Structure 1
Amino acid sequence: MRIVLFTHPAFLNSNSMPRYARMLEQGMRERGHNVSVRTARAFFYKTPAPKFFKKWLGYLDQYLVFPLAFKLRRQAEPDLYVFADQALGPWVPLVKKKAHVIHCHDFLAQRAAEGAFPEQAVGTTGRWYQQFIRWGYRQGNCFICISEKTRQDLQAFLKHTPQISEVVYNGFNQEFKPNNPVEVRKDLGLALNLDLNTGYILHVGGNQFYKNRLGVLELYEAYSAQNPDAAPLLLVGTAPNENLLAYRKTMHSKARVHFCTGFSDEQVRMAYQGALVLLYPSLEEGFGWPIAEAQASGCPVITTAAAPMNEVGGEAAWYIPRRKHQDHEEFITTGVARLEMLLDLNDRERLNLVEAGLQNAKRFNTSKTLDHIALIYKQIVSQKWSEKEKL
């Protein structure tokens, strides 16, 4: 099968989407398919300009230069066009009458532009941009979603019933496995110049509103108030924004709160292996990678009792209510109780919880994910060929 894979341009400097695109590219090649990659190149974007204008110059490269170049380029027609992300929607009209499929990750930006989240205001140009993306992917007819929640959101935005709309859970893009937590805590503590020998509470994520880092700090502050000897809190990921730093200054437990930035992949894996628990109370997600990564690393998980977090965590995670915009009481009260219960488990109870997590994480096998995706690709090509035969 000859595949053309559309991906985000390198000048956007994103991380997760290029990783996903590489997984598709390499995975399909390993399965014997011919894959070529198409994306926008920096032309206008190379022009020296302030950061704000660079964004708009990038839009010119993506939505003016690339479509023109694609139409003018002479190339053999592939069997299938694959879009690595629904945010590439404005390119869908280029191939909408040919065999194609759109991978869908999350619709948080789309929903935010519709005013779904009081925590996230979107400006006028942001709303226009999301409308532009929606205009594009709505012209698609075959979709693969990373969770049932994503598929439900997709259907809410589409104006038609697609030919194909399948759910294929993500597969790990690196190996996560348990390790001796005593040794890991010692090594990680030396690297961070912290005493982590008795363990720590972990959060992994960035400053996006839906990651709920502020909620993590609120929950830890309440937990520490009732447990003066609370284990330290490590927040691994992006450097904290001003709001998070300002809140930490007000915390009685601030001396035990540590933002850990610039971690390598190996250090992130170590952080999971040595943690007492992953505290991951996201407001929303497309999938919720840290849940699966933690479980595969032998780390218990407390997360939000809502899709897709409960899709990923299954019966092996512990759940708490979503943090409400105005009323945090239930979130705090239940969260503190859950933390206390989990951290008070005896050795046998904790081992059982860890084992359940390890079994659950086996669902996210990269090879099986790629096999499933390849099967859907073949189905789309076969159906498109049948339609041509009927004509």
Structure 2
Amino acid sequence: MATIIGKDGGSFMVNTSRLVHEFLTMVQIDSPSRQERAMADWYKARLIELGLTVEEDEAGKAINGTAGNLIARLPGDGQGMPIFFSAHLDTVEPGRGIRPLIEGDIIRSAGDTILGGDDKAGLAVILEAIRIIKENNLPHGEIELVITVAEECGLLGAKQLHRQQLQSIAGFVLDAGGPVGSIVVRGPAQTKIEATIRGKAAHAGVEPEKGISAIQVAARAIDRMPLGRIDAETTANIGVIEGGKATNIIPDMVNLKGEARSLDPRKLHAQTKQMTTILEQTAQEFGAYVQLTVEDLYPEINLKPEEPVVQIARQAIQACGLTPSLDSTGGGSDANIFIGLGLPTANLGIGMQNVHSVEEKMAISDLVKLTEVVLAIVKTAHDWR
């Protein structure tokens, strides 16, 4: 066990063996995106055992999944800032039949699957923190838990949430890949671009001049696009191209899928516009037609250092003897969605390593440190004025 000394001199314990046991239990429950039913049931039962009220929303039905988001509440004493903690139930593939191994301080996968620390490390830490609060009757304000589904396939569960479902005014997501002590304060907005290019079919050997190759149109357009790292704040990519039926047929249709991301919404708009304009102009040059769909996937994260949610995280991390860092990321998380709902949300580094790979690993010491940080956030938010 790890002993934590509070500012009032009182001490309480992180039960390391319990924390590790529940983490190992959770990673062995299969929960790929949209198939989180077993994991949701297990986690919901643990929260109810701890005396929390738990609701499950209709997100599962909306996204064609087996489970919805869980929203749990631990009533407070009416002091401080009402806050929420969040982690997601789903994992990426290969994530079935996980066999975790412990080697000293490190928990890793057996090498044929992911470990599932993304985000079951966050789930385990939240559960242990709530247990400690209950066991030690620690003072706390209103605490809500937002446990989402289908995060890994487009933040789909979080997108089904509504602001009126939550009483909190700020939140902390436990899902960033940095070290414990890091706070994501900047993250990009993202747009999804899908295009269907329609040309004209013809026999490739007999009369190719009568055809319009949709593949050639796509290739020319992609070659003209600025892609990859555009600048320090902006990236773009065409990730999928599908089309063609046979080598002796001029292809009359190609589907493209791409994206653009930027920390600056004006740059994101400009990059997206440039990509779609190039597609339209190139299709016109060849006498082809392009059908475009552009979707805003999530808004940017742009938290200021002076915002309460950032200050609370920093003070809590410092109280645990760690050095906080304010970081920027190129990826998206549920924090983007919560911010879009008007809820200032910090995504906290949880120490997971080599995520989304069969080399994934998690340090036991980081699980303990993160639990300490969560408890310190609860105390800091409770004392917040």
Question: What is the TM-score when the length of structure 2 is the normalising length?
Answer: 0.29
Q: Which has the higher contact order (CA 8 A, sep 6+)?
A: 2
Question: What is the TM-score when the length of structure 1 is the normalising length?
Answer: 0.29
Larger radius of gyration: 2
Higher helix share: 1
Higher strand share: 2
